[in-house]
């Protein structure tokens, strides 16, 4: 039986991960901003689910909560999952929503990881999963700030994973494609009319509002795939979930590599003559 610590567990990936872990006999400490969402699970699994109220944008609360969880015993896996989605043309996004996007997805995730590392190191290792997105490697118009947070946290995790590997700490980025969770319904849609109405941003805004955006991912199957990967002795740096994500990321990487290779002579020409 393992002990998992999961943020953002009230819905979507966090809720489904909590439910599947409890069903197989593990213990979970789950955090959410508003209490009540996990009451039914707590009743079905007495003694194996601890629920803690936490907003990851609260810089003082994050280390306090994380320290208390580790003080109570070993934590085998930490899952940074809390997220917020913002959509709209970059120049029209309100400043307060930009800050909320950055503070939740990027700064909140960084705070959680930094708070968890001392505990993982002290106990001799463990695993840390960061829920990212296909949007950590590709970009859709209208999601500029969301992508900024996902590309940002991916760079952070890739660097930190190298820093802590010698302590027995493994880190993995989880990159789902469009998945049937409550994320789309909770997406904060900024008005994309006006100058952007007839652009790709306006078209995508209408598709999202009318629920015409194609979504193939299944959250239960995605979580099952995460758990199956956790049985591997060594985690991959990135776990891509969904055929849409696999195809989109693959196409983006191939295009990026082709562009890079075409610049080989230009890159070499920037070297010092005596290098």
175 φ, ψ to 5°? -120, 80
> What are the tokens at 155?
């760079």
pTM of the predicted structure, to 2 decimals: 0.93
pLDDT(68) > 80:
yes
pLDDT one-digit tens code per residue, 20-33: 999 999 999 999 98
Strands 3-6 and 27-32 turn out to be parallel
Options 15, 84, 146, 196, the catalytic residue: 146
Q: Characterize 140-175 residue by residue with b for buried, 16 or more Cβ atoms within 10 angstroms of its Cβ, and e for exposed.
A: bbbbbbbbbbbbbbbebbeebbeebeeeebbbbbbb
Tell me the mean pLDDT in the region 156-183: 91
Options 133, 150, 222, 248, the catalytic residue: 150
- Per the annotation, the verdict on 146 as an active-site residue is yes
Options 10, 80, 109, 132, the catalytic residue: 132
236 φ, ψ to 5°? -70, 160
Output the average pLDDT for the chain: 93
pLDDT(273) > 90:
no
pLDDT one-digit tens code per residue, 41-66: 999 999 999 999 999 999 999 999 99
Q: Do 113 and 59 form a contact (C-beta atoms < 8 A)?
A: no
- Per the annotation, the verdict on 15 as an active-site residue is no
pLDDT(173) > 80:
yes
pLDDT one-digit tens code per residue, 76-124: 999 999 888 899 999 999 999 999 999 999 999 999 999 999 999 999 9
What are 29's strand-pairing partners? 5, 50
Within the chain, strands assigned E span: 3-6, 27-32, 49-53, 77-80, 86-87, 126-131, 169-176, 188-189, 238-241
Residues composing the chain: 275
What domains appear along the chain, each with residue ranges and CATH number?
A: 3-243 (3.40.50.720)
């Amino acid at each position: 039986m393992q002990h998992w610590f999961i943020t953002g567990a009230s819905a979507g990936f966090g809720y489904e991960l909590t439910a599947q872990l409890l069903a197989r006999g593990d213990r979970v400490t789950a955090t959410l901003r508003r209490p009540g969402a996990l009451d039914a699970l707590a009743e079905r699994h007495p003694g194996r689910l601890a629920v803690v109220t936490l907003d990851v944008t609260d810089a003082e609360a994050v280390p306090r909560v994380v320290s208390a969880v580790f003080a109570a015993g070993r934590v085998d896996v930490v899952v940074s999952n809390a997220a917020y989605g913002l959509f709209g043309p970059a120049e029209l996004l309100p400043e307060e929503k930009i800050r909320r996007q950055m503070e939740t997805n990027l700064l909140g995730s960084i705070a959680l990881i930094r708070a968890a590392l001392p505990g993982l190191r002290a106990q001799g290792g463990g695993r840390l999963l960061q829920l990212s997105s296909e949007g950590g490697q590709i970009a859709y118009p209208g999601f500029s700030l969301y992508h900024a947070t996902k590309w940002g946290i991916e760079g952070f995790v890739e660097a930190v994973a190298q820093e802590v590997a010698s302590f027995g700490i493994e880190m993995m980025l989880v990159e789902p494609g469009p998945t049937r969770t409550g994320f789309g319904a909770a997406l904060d849609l900024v008005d994309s009319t006006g100058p952007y109405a007839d652009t790709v941003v306006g078209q995508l805004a209408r598709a999202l509002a009318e629920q015409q955006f194609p979504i193939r991912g299944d959250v239960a199957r995605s979580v099952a795939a995460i758990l199956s990967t956790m049985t591997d002795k060594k985690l991959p740096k990135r776990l891509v979930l969904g055929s849409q994500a696999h195809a989109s990321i693959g196409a983006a990487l191939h295009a990026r590599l082709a562009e890079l290779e075409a610049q080989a002579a230009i890159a070499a020409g920037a070297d010092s003559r005596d290098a």
